[in-house]
């Protein structure tokens, strides 16, 4: 019986593409306060491996967990989606 590991997948917005074969992706999460029911947005940044250097700032991307590729890089790009609405409206 093979033990298959479940890969986590996230979707976020590219905030930096200055490194070679690496992009920084921001993933936003909405949290609701348990007592006051106020919604707050918390975000986290991930270093994602981009083999073809195809992503630019403002792109929406989907990425998954992989083996460690460097000291901080443990994520691999799956697909590039359409640019986010915020990025295209500022152009």
pLDDT for the residue 91: 53
Q: Which fold has domain 9-89?
A: OB fold (Dihydrolipoamide Acetyltransferase, E2P) (2.40.50)
- How far apart CA 39 and CA 35 sit, in angstroms, is 11
Helix (H) or strand (E) run with residue 63 in it: strand 59-65
Averaged pLDDT of the chain: 90
Stronger pLDDT, 89 or 8, i.e. the higher one: 8
Average pLDDT, stretch 14-42?
97
pLDDT for the residue 7: 83
Go through 42-72 and write b for each residue having 16 or more CB atoms within 10 A of its CB, e for each that does not: eeeebbbbbeeeebeebbbbebeeeeeeeee
pLDDT tens digits for 51-68?
999 999 999 999 999 999
pLDDT tens digits for 36-56?
999 999 999 999 999 999 999
């Amino acid at each position: 019986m093979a033990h298959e590991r479940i890969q986590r997948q996230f979707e976020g917005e590219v905030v930096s593409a200055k490194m070679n074969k690496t992009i920084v992706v921001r993933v936003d999460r909405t949290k609701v306060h348990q007592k006051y029911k106020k919604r707050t947005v918390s975000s986290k940044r991930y270093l994602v491996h981009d083999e073809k250097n195809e992503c630019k700032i403002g792109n929406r991307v989907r990425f998954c967990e992989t083996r460690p590729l460097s000291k901080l890089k443990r994520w691999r790009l799956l697909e590039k989606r359409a640019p986010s609405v915020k990025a295209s409206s500022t152009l």
